[in-house]
Amino acid sequence: MSNNPNEMLGESLFGKVRRKVLSTFVLNPERSFYLLELIRLLNCGRGAVQREVARLSKAGIILRKKIGNQVHYTANTDNLIYKELRSIFSKTTGLIDLLDADLRSCSDSLGMAFIFGDYARGTADEHSRVNLVVIGDTTMDAVRACTAGFSKEAARELHITVLTTSELKRRLISGDRRIQEILADRKIFLSGGQRELQVLTTTGDDLFAGIF
C-alpha cells in the first residue's frame, strides 16, 4: 500500500482490480478497450478483470460495443456518477494517470517527462504541489496548454519546468544547484527513464544532445 495519503484514500475505497479498471476507463473516456488489451495493460488476472468489466457494464458505468469480431468497452460519460468517479480518481490513485493522459494529448513531442518532489517521495499531503519536469524540444506554452485542466481536476497545483537538452547540460556544467537537487530527488517517470536521463546528463560530450 502507498504511503501517500491521497493514494491511500483511493486504495481504501476500491479493491485493487476494480480501482485499476475504473481509473483506466474514467480517466480515458475517449478510448475504447477490448478485454485482452485491458488485461495486458493492467497486468491483472484474466478472471478478475472479466468480472469487474461485467459488473461495471451491467451497472452502466462502461458501455459494451461489438466492433468486428471484438467486443470493445468505453466509459459511459452519461452515467449518473461518471463525473464523481473521475473526480475521485483524479484526486487520488489516478493522479499520475491523469497527468500522463494530459501529456500524451500534447501535439508536440515532449521527449522526457517526470514528477519529482513530495509526490514522488510518497510524502505528499493535501497542500503538496505536483512538480513536473519536461526535457525536450518543446515550449512551456505547449506543455501548459495540454495540462491546463489538470490542477482543477486533481485539486493540486502543478509546477512545470521545461528544459531543452542543451539547456540542461549548460546548467549542469555551471553547477546549477536547483538542477542538481532535481536530479538527486526521487522521480516518477511518465516518459523516458533513468537510463535515458543519465545519457542526457552526461556532460563530457554532446553526442546525444537533441535526441528528444
Residue 203 has a CB neighbour count (10 Å cut-off) of 11
212 residues of the chain, pLDDT tens digit each: 445 555 555 555 677 788 888 888 987 888 899 999 989 878 789 999 999 999 999 999 999 999 888 899 999 999 999 988 887 776 666 778 778 878 887 867 788 999 999 888 877 776 789 999 999 988 999 999 989 988 877 778 999 999 999 999 999 999 999 999 999 999 989 888 999 999 888 866 544 444 44
**Structural domains of the chain ordered from first start:** 5-88 (1.10.10.10), 95-200 (3.30.460.10)
Cα(76)–Cα(61) distance, rounded to whole angstroms? 5
How does DSSP assign 95-110, residue by residue? HHHHHHHHHHT-SS--
